[in-house]
Amino acid sequence: MAEPQGLKILTYPDQILREKAEVICDIDEGLAELADKMIITMQDAPGIGLAANQVGALRRIIVFDGNPSKPGGNPRVLINPEIVEKEGKIVHEEACLSVMDFSAEVTRSEKVRVTGVDQTGKPIALDAEGLLAVCLQHEIDHLDGVLYIDHLSSLKRAFYKRKLKKLLSGD
């Protein structure tokens, strides 16, 4: 059997990254296949999380590493994820597979409770803190068309836009 292939990751300023993903009603074979491919894509990158918008699918599904401090060991799928509780503040240096050559500190909630269903349709309630909490907030933002750079000051965002322009023009 052929090895499943990873997917192409869209990068800023691709407009699909700005769209809101749709709630998933049916967990069918196509969705299971998308989830598998997203996990491969995340691990190949490598990254600790990936949202469907990033591979051009506007559906509310994310994959992430359940143990992000030791990536690769515990890939998980969350469908229709929602943050239902949050607590505290954490500042963490973030990067994104869709935002080339950049990272910046973002302030988010330190602890979150996230609900959703897994790829078998089983309801999930996940209490996360630290890096995992940051990762989940970052990925759920993607499903709403929000990128981590949107949380930065306009000055820092302008800096990144200039940097990207230079990068893309090959200077």
Q: Which residues bind Ni ion (CB under 5 A)?
A: 96
> Cis omega before residue 68 (within 30°)?
no
Q: Which CA distances in Å does 91 have to 18, 32, 70, 107, 151?
A: 24, 34, 20, 4, 12
CB nearer to Ni ion: pick between 63 and 96: 96
The least distance separating Ni ion from the CB of residue 138, rounded to whole angstroms, comes to 5
Nearest residue (beta carbon) to Ni ion: 96
Residue 12 CB, shortest distance to Ni ion, in Å, is: 10
Cis status of the peptide bond prior to 13, with omega within 30 of 0: yes
Q: How far is the CB of 11 from Ni ion (least distance, A)?
A: 10
Smallest separation (angstroms) from Ni ion to the CB of 96: 3
Of 31 and 96, the one with the shorter C-beta distance to Ni ion is 96
Sign of the alpha-carbon dihedral angle for 164, 166, 168, 171: negative
Please identify, using beta-carbon distances, which residue of 42 and 96 lies nearer to Ni ion: 96
Q: CB-wise, 34 or 96, nearer to Ni ion? A: 96
Based on the residue annotation, tell me whether 139 is a catalytic residue of this protein.
Answer: yes
Q: Determine how β-strand 75-87 pairs with β-strand 99-108.
A: unpaired
Which of 3, 94, 129, 139 is the catalytic position?
139
β-strand pairing of 111-117 with 99-108: unpaired
Which residues form the catalytic set? Answer: 139
